[in-house]
Structure 1
Amino acid sequence: MFRVAQLALLLAAAEDTGAKLTNLDRLAYFDFFAANPFIVLDGESVEKDARDRLTLRLAGFTDRQLTYGTVGHRFATRHERIRHDLALLVARGLARALADRYAITPSGAEFASALKTVYAEAYRTAALIVLKRFGGLSETRLRAKAEKLLGAPWLLIDFLADVEGVDTVTRGGGAS
């Protein structure tokens, strides 16, 4: 339920900023970065990073929350769950799949705005920072940025998950 609530908060923030969450990968990137926002402070803009770092600290985040050596693996795990979490939101009428994006419904927006915990407020703050930084990136640029921030090992995990059901037996009877 915690991840589902986070996803509702993210979809509500996307609605507020006009960012389009057009596919599951994009949704997974933004969801992961909002939950682990110090990852996005990449040093490209020292002034912007300093401002966002202070905003995140004031919201209650700490840059010691995540073991950054395992960022890629944590993303891969979270990425695997995003479809299920989104399905729960859709089934409950809190989100919908439109032709061009995933969106929060009016009921979902009401649900998200009713979340008044300290963490919910912090997550909203982080989601807005992430959406402002990356919301306008194309799919190609977002994937390249994510690879830079997360490292390449998660791509291998993702690739292996995609070929999990492939039959590897050749016609000669041996495995390939």
Structure 2
Amino acid sequence: MASGSKFQAKEKLERYFRPEDQDEFRLAQLLLLLEVSKSFRVHPSLERLGVLDFFAANPFLVVQPNDSEYRDLVLAGFSIKPLTYASPGHRFVTRRSRLQNDLALLIAYGFATPDTNSGHRVYRISDAGQTAAERLSSIYAQAYRVSVDVIAKRVHKVAENKLSEFSRERLQADPALLDLLNL
């Protein structure tokens, strides 16, 4: 009987597949993010990468219906309705906690390289990463590039020391929650 209940529990979990729980999905998103960042001549720090990563996946926390890019995001396939019950603050903290590991994997695979710029550690897409990113051609990859482009234009203007404030305002999160990870 116990083995039957384990099977049912596993079967139930498999029905609730979330792409962002898969390493490959998150690595592909980071790779696309670094690809688009390169076109802006932006080499993001870990902090900037975390902000770009989260808000590109959740662009309607930044882009409002009266913004010119709103329609572009809707046409690309993004929805204003979240696909999860977790609050934006909780999703941000969860995603941010995975970022260092995901970035380390991209570096280990040779798809990204660490560097320094103006005293900050930054990350760049490598030639191998660029080649891999160019091969990502799904409809989602195309939509995600649009979102990164829209979000990068806004985040690019934010000073490094103002990124936490930018995130807090858009998340409308309890500051105590974000302070847990020193964000």
- The bucket for the TM-score relative to the shorter chain is 0.7 to 0.9
Is 1:31 the equivalent of 2:48?
Answer: no
Contact 1:89–1:95 under 8 Å retained in 2: yes
Structure 2 Cα separation of the partners of residues 33 and 160 of structure 1: 19
Q: TM-score, normalised by structure 1?
A: 0.81
Look up the match of 2:99. Answer: 82
Inter-CA distance 135–161: structure 2 relative to 1 (3 Å threshold)? closer
Count of matched residue positions in the alignment of Structure 1 and Structure 2: 155
- The runs of 5 or more residues in structure 2 that have no matched partner are 1-23
CA drift at 1:131: 0.4
CA drift at 1:136: 2.4
Equivalent position amino acid for 1:40 in 2? V
CA drift at 1:20: 2.8
Is 1:21 the equivalent of 2:41?
Answer: no
Q: TM-score, normalised by structure 2?
A: 0.78
Equivalent position amino acid for 1:35 in 2? A
CA drift at 1:91: 0.1
Equivalent position amino acid for 2:106 in 1? L
CA drift at 1:142: 2.4
Look up the match of 2:148. Answer: 127
Structure 1 Cα separation of the partners of residues 56 and 85 of structure 2: 15
Contact 1:33–1:40 under 8 Å retained in 2: yes
CA drift at 1:145: 1.4
Contact 2:64–2:70 under 8 Å retained in 1: no
- The runs of 5 or more residues in structure 1 that have no matched partner are 163-176
Contact 2:89–2:171 under 8 Å retained in 1: yes
CA RMSD of aligned residues (A): 1.8
